[in-house]
Amino acid sequence: MDKKQGPQLIQDTRGGNLNLDDLVDNPNLEGFHIAAILGTVYGLMTDDDCSAFRSSVVKRTGYEGFLRSPSDMGSSVGSMLREKRDGNEWTGRSVADLVHKYVANQITNEEMAAVLAMIMVKGMATSEIVSLTRAMTDSGDRLDFSELTEQGYVAVDKHSTGGISDGVSLVLAPLVAAAYPQIIVPMMSGRGLGHTGGTLDKLESIPGFRVDLSEDEIRAAMLETRVAIFAPMPSIVPADGKMYALRDLTNCVSDSGLIVGSILSKKIAEGTKVLVMDTKTGNGAFKSKFEDAKLFAQLMCNVGRGNGLNVNGFITDMNQPLGMYAGNKLEVLEALEYLRGLHQDSDFMKVVYTLAEKMVELAGFAEENTRVRLHETITSGAAYDTFLKMVRQQHGDLASVRKLARLLHPTSILTLAQAGEYERINQVLSPEDKLYFTEIRAERDGMVSGFQLTSIGEEIRALGAGRYKQGDSVNPYVGLITAARLGQPVRKGELIAVVVNDGKKGSPEKIREYIHVSENYDLGTKPRLIKELVKPTAG
């Protein structure tokens, strides 16, 4: 029988379900796994019980560890473990020392694994997360836009916790930069994570588009186009890369304080002064319950303010795809449609305009007609032109983007799908490749009553749109076209969605199970799109 993996054993320990015999002769266990198990136990047990447990672990694994016993707290890490176990808060200095030494390899993975495991069971106070964020930010370089900020420019950014068809950054960043010449948008983004898509993967579906920019290239982009969307650099917040890899290996990913530190340290280091958060809630969000999403958004705002950021956040719905298309190139095409002025009353654009208004306000440029100005920036073509400038600045094939816009004008991918013009969609997405289009149609008269978004996202991932491990390639052309919204009346046989696939990977038909039509749907239960604005609390 195969032995359990280290992360699962750590989770078992956290849940009180660890079978010590699973540790015996287990080839999957590394020292840092065992250290995380011991750190977890130390946070949950008395000294006597912990000593007995440790003895059992040593007997089964031969692991002595960096702590000889719970009472041996001579090291700085040992002291921090005892402080946290006893309910005391860590000082800013001790947190800074921990991060600095870990990046400098003066603290081992085993020691840090024990600390992370302790955090998972004991949590961190806001002040500790503020200190952690600051220490992580200070672990590397910071982007310097002083040449522009001294002239009155303000650097702004947004962060979304992610969801299905959430390509907001592709529209929001060029829109804000185009509408307000004194605003610069340096947007450090990520790749797909789990069932959610990544902004960088979407942009890389544009031939030649580069996301791995140097600091000089980012500064040049701010001077030339005032917007860039780019990948994290090794010199920026190296603590995050090292800590996240260990968190992943030790099942210490889900703690809100660790997540906030990871997000905000990168945002601060990228040089932004204003940040607007979009915290998703619903069955497709990582914080599915509204109360949890609000707590997370509040923590982001408070920790951001504690580090000198001007942060507000919105809690928005993720119980259905935000946009109409999900998939890397499909979402770029959707962004082009929005930037060309289509679908301006959509949920997607309502979120874009709401976030943009708040970014402008926090940057100090609010006016009575901010929304009007933003809308005119779309209808005039200025936002679209700025997107094209960003593509050119980041070495993307401008001709291919313009060709896509021409192929679609004056229609949209959705209109083509509703007309059954799949060959034309194939030509737009990838003329060199044969794509397949699996229709999902209503099986009865009724109303669209639900999307199981996490399951839908996982199926899109399985089609090839996402990764399962580092180094996996993505298929930029596959994805989902959604033709109906929650609460929309449909007739039997009416098109609800189309799964775009390569005929090789995944189970396109499976998505049919995750979109529901009911004879009766109470429109009063339809989730509100923009649920609440969250600001830093006093204190």
The residues assigned a catalytic role are 159, 240, 247, 262, 266
Q: Identify each DSSP E strand in 373-490 by its residue range.
A: 436-441, 446-451, 479-482, 489-490
Which tokens go with 352? 């874009």
DSSP for 208-221, written as a single string = T------HHHHHHH
Q: Left (φ > 0), alpha (ψ -120 to 50) or beta: where does 133 sit?
A: alpha
Distance CA 282, CA 528 (A): 11
* Alpha-helical regions (H) of 180-234: 199-203, 215-224
Distance CA 188, CA 240 (A): 14
Which tokens go with 181? 């010449």
Q: What share of the chain is helix, strand, coil (3-state, %, to 5)?
A: 50, 15, 40
The 8-class DSSP code of residue 63 comes to: -
Question: Is residue 466 within 8 Å of 496, Cβ to Cβ?
Answer: no
Question: Is residue 322 within 8 Å of 347, Cβ to Cβ?
Answer: yes
Q: How many residues does the chain have?
A: 539
| Exposure string over 79-90, b if 16+ CB within 10 A, otherwise e | ebbbbbbeeeeb
Which tokens go with 514? 């995750």
The 8-class DSSP code of residue 51 comes to: H
SS3 408: helix
Question: Is residue 300 within 8 Å of 263, Cβ to Cβ?
Answer: yes
Q: Left (φ > 0), alpha (ψ -120 to 50) or beta: where does 265 sit?
A: alpha
Phi/psi at 103 (5° precision): -65, -35
User: Helix 76-85 crosses helix 92-103 at what angle (to 10 degrees)?
Assistant: 140
β pairing state of 274-281 and 436-441: unpaired
Q: Any residues with CB less than 8 A from the CB of 117 and at least 6 apart, and which? A: 10, 14, 35, 36, 37, 38, 39, 40, 43, 250, 252
Distance, CA of 148 to chain centre = 28
Residue labelled with tokens 């969605």: 497
SS3 530: strand
Which tokens go with 434? 């044969």
